Structure 1
Amino acid sequence: MTAENRKKILLVDDDKFFQKVMSDAFESAGFTVATAGDGQAGVEAYAQDRFDAVVLDLVMPRMGGVSASLEIARLSEDPDPVLILLTSMFQGAPHEHPIPEMGAKVHIPKSTPPLDIVIIVEQLLERKRRGSSAA
């Protein structure tokens, strides 16, 4: 896969270890990865470059995931950007909402294995590519 064809993802998380683990997982799957350490830095990164998907931690300093995802959605040229909130505040399976809740349609527990998160993002991007909005 050439660099031009690689999907670009923005990982926004204040936990450097988790950020590294997720970056490695996405890079191994062929993604180009950019990272930000909090929501404000994530919004600034998004304003400078466009990404195919953004994965945000819910609780971060300066600006949390909800505020950051709402601002990224506002900045996006895409009417339905792929925004995913990760949180340790709920357990259970990853779930999707028909309309955004807390700024994102997809919520994933932080305890989800990194490879599973990558697969979910790949599925969301493939569905978007095909133009389907059904869950």
Structure 2
Amino acid sequence: MLPTLNGRIQTRIFLLVVVGGIWTLILTPVLPGLPGPLSADYRVTFTILVATIVLGIGWELIYHFIQQFRWEKDWPTFFGLITVVNEGLLVWILLQLDLVPGIDGPAVPIGAYVILFVTTWLWVWLIANGPMRVPFIHWRFRGGRLV
């Protein structure tokens, strides 16, 4: 399968909303260092998830541009995994600069952020490269498009 730009964006949004949302729901109560009541912690973690989704659309445009210089116009699977570094750093920097609306970014502990971001990324990457192909049989043949 060669995912299209539209397919990659749809898959990213779907997986982050469904898999990332469920994982964030489970993980938030046990994250270390989040101050405040559980409702405030959920607001922070889900806002980070939404920021990741929004910025991810921009990243997909950048990745698409870079892929045009590759012979097969696609990434090796490993590249999809290591993009956690640049995407995670961007969200963290925006948090520290207090540029993510709805969050007092500097108050988010780095430990909680790293655990949330990296584990969510791993779940999404694992699901996209394995089980995603079972319930969405035609997903592979439609360039990653779900709709």
Q: Could you tell me the TM-score, scaled by structure 1's length?
A: 0.29
**Larger of the two Rg values belongs to structure:** 2
User: Which structure's residues are more often strand, by fraction?
Assistant: 1
RCO higher in structure (CA 8 A, sep ≥6): 2
The structure in which a higher percent of residues are helix is: 2
